Amino acid sequence: MDTLVIIGGDAAGMSAASKVRRVHKDKKIIVFEKSAYTSYSACGIPYFISGLIESIDELVRRSPDEFRNKYNIDVHTEHLVLEVDTNGKRIRVLDKQNNTEFWQPYGQLLIATGGKAYCPKDITGYDAENVFGVTTLKSGINIENFIEDKKPQTAVIVGGGYIGLEMAESLLRRGLEVTLITKGAQVMNTLDPDMGVLVTEALQVLGVTVYLNESLKGFVLEGNTITEVITDKQNLPADMVVFGMGTSPNTAFLEGSGIELGVKGAIKVNAQMQTNIPDVWAAGDCTETLNMVSRQHIHIALGTLANKTGLVAGSSIAGEQAVFPGAVGTAVCKICSYEVARTGLQEKELNKLGIEYAATTVDSLTRANYYPGATKIVVKLLAEKNSGRLLGGQIIGQEGAAKRIDVLATAITHNLTLQNIIDLDLSYAPPFSPVWDPVQTCARKLIKMI
Ligand SMILES: Cc1cc2nc3c(=O)[nH]c(=O)nc-3n(C[C@H](O)[C@H](O)[C@H](O)COP(=O)(O)OP(=O)(O)OC[C@H]3O[C@@H](n4cnc5c(N)ncnc54)[C@H](O)[C@@H]3O)c2cc1C
């Protein structure tokens, strides 16, 4: 039986489905998706909540009906896959609307179940009516409805990762008083501490109260409503609470399937996105990723990688030659007027790997100093001591700062040295950069140090 069955109908799953359909016009493709949506952008949820995007429907790239009618892909929403039987080549599915279960056979299977947000279920009140995770479109709708109905004045965000920070912007824009707590010594722990501190300062300038080194311990509840967040240091008033405590791969239902799991329970795959079990493939946030700099497997939950690995999985399933080489860990985020970007390895990772490196930062400007709107940009580069090979880059600044990280990501991917970066023929005009782009200014400073 040649049916392709896909579990998960978002970025990775539907990229693969679409690719297979483009190559094989008549292949039977069945998708099971536990929510009501397909191909949606969770990345847009903070901007829906801030009011920048009017309707949640704008975040849906292709609806289930479009996949069914235009692409002949048999999409079943509100269907939760409970179990994978790799010996019998079948999956156990719960039809949530009718509350009935059935076994679905497959010829080939793609697992694209994404990740799930961490939720502190050991703390009483984790499921109170005014506490929210930010994961699915439904969670975005729930937050929006709550803000509209209850008009909260104060919010506590638990977690200092990029989702917590983006939510801080959304809630500030909705006029709430926002407090962010994180158990780490800095926000955005994918940055080095000297860059992380700049993000904390930016948050404070924007009006967010930030408490570092502070852990969530509990909630003060009135009925099913949280009124205060209890940390190990104080009680904070909260009309609403948002969790941004990280995600883990959604793979618990694979227990007993024989499918090999690795870092954080993510599915182990080869460069074609094939698992250890014949005819079983995986892509997106539920899989491990090879870090091309450290050559170690890690778990990164990003839409960029979900789309790419979904496409590679689809190509492989369709019988084409495709390879996903891995990632260098490139990510950007925005908090109001501030842009934050990172790629490659950070100092703690280089120290752990025993790689000798040098690092430096420069303060520069996003435009020529005389051009209106020029703002400060801080660039940090990390390079291998003897070879000068670029190993990492971090950028913080205002408009026009973040996307400069793509030059550095390209450099790291292709093993460029600081001299190679200095030699790059990058563009210049006063509205876009100083005549030496800040990334090149930083490379010139660092090359002198090594
Ligand atoms: C608020 C927010 C902002 C983000 N911003 C960015 C950004 O700016 N840039 C970026 O690169 N990434 C961003 N991301 C991450 C990005 O959204 C994810 O990496 C991407 O959606 C992963 O795609 P995926 O298909 O692997 O998994 P998912 O999008 O999680 O999709 C998996 C699907 O599988 C379904 N599913 C899970 N288990 C089952 C089951 N057992 N049975 C049936 N269906 C199941 C789920 O309902 C889900 O629809 C953001 C995420 C969030 C939450």
Q: Give me the pLDDT at residue 235, please.
A: 98
Token code pair at residue 198: 């700049």
Residue 31: which of 96, 83, 77, 69 has the closest Cα? 77
Q: Which run of H or of E encompasses 54?
A: none
Location of structure tokens 């690795």? 262
Measure 305 CA to ligand 1 centroid, in angstroms.
Answer: 11
Q: Give me the pLDDT at residue 206, please.
A: 95
What are the extents of the domains in the chain? 4-37+58-115+248-317, 119-245, 339-449
Fold of the domain spanning 339-449: Enolase-like; domain 1 (3.30.390)
Q: Give me the pLDDT at residue 113, please.
A: 98
Superfamily holding 4-37+58-115+248-317? FAD/NAD(P)-binding domain (3.50.50.60)
**Sequence-separated (6 or more) residues with CB below 8 Å from residue 38:** 9, 10, 14, 31, 60, 62, 63, 64, 67, 75, 77
Angle between helices 162-173 and 193-206 (to 10 degrees): 10
Residue in 93, 250, 273, 339 to alter for ligand 1 test, most ligand atoms within 8 A of Cβ:
250
Residue in 40, 62, 113, 269 to alter for ligand 1 test, most ligand atoms within 8 A of Cβ:
113
> What are the angstrom distances between the C-alpha of 317 and each of 11, 29, 156, 206, 405?
17, 11, 45, 48, 33
Q: Are 31 and 6 in contact (CB under 8 A)?
A: yes
Residue 332: which of 139, 166, 443, 135 has the closest Cα? 166
Q: Say how far apart CA 311 and CA 307 lie, in whole Å.
A: 6
Residues with a CB atom less than 6 Å from ligand 1:
7-13, 32-35, 42-43, 45-46, 80-81, 112-115, 134-135, 163, 250, 253, 284-285, 301-304, 306
Q: Give me the pLDDT at residue 222, please.
A: 97
Identify the residue whose C-alpha is closest to ligand 1 atom 6.
43
Q: Which CATH class is domain 119-245?
A: alpha beta
Measure 239 CA to ligand 1 centroid, in angstroms.
Answer: 27
Q: How many residues does the chain have?
A: 450
Q: Say how far apart CA 218 and CA 265 lie, in whole Å.
A: 27
Q: Say how far apart CA 34 and CA 113 lie, in whole Å.
A: 9
Q: Say how far apart CA 440 and CA 156 lie, in whole Å.
A: 39
Residue in 32, 33, 165 to alter for ligand 1 test, most ligand atoms within 8 A of Cβ:
33
Q: Give me the pLDDT at residue 167, please.
A: 97
Q: Say how far apart CA 5 and CA 57 lie, in whole Å.
A: 26
**Sequence-separated (6 or more) residues with CB below 8 Å from residue 438:** 362, 364, 365, 366, 377, 379, 395, 404
The atom number, within ligand 1, closest to the CA of 41 reads 17
Query: Along the 450 residues of the chain, how does pLDDT read in single tens digits?
Result: 589 999 999 999 999 999 999 999 999 999 999 999 999 999 999 999 999 999 999 999 999 999 999 999 999 999 999 999 999 999 999 999 999 999 999 999 999 999 999 999 999 999 999 999 998 999 999 999 999 999 999 999 999 999 999 999 999 999 999 999 999 999 999 999 999 999 999 999 999 999 999 999 999 999 999 999 999 999 999 999 999 999 999 999 999 999 999 999 999 999 999 999 999 999 999 999 999 999 999 999 999 999 999 999 999 999 999 999 999 999 999 999 999 999 999 999 999 999 999 999 999 999 999 999 999 999 999 999 999 999 999 999 999 999 999 999 999 999 999 999 999 999 999 999 999 999 999 999 999 999
Domains 4-37+58-115+248-317 and 119-245 share a fold: yes
pLDDT, tens digit (0-9, with 9 covering 90-100), for 69-97: 999 999 999 999 999 999 999 999 999 99
Secondary structure E strands in 45-89: 74-76, 79-85
Q: Give me the pLDDT at residue 1, please.
A: 55
Q: Give me the pLDDT at residue 408, please.
A: 98
Q: Give me the pLDDT at residue 200, please.
A: 97
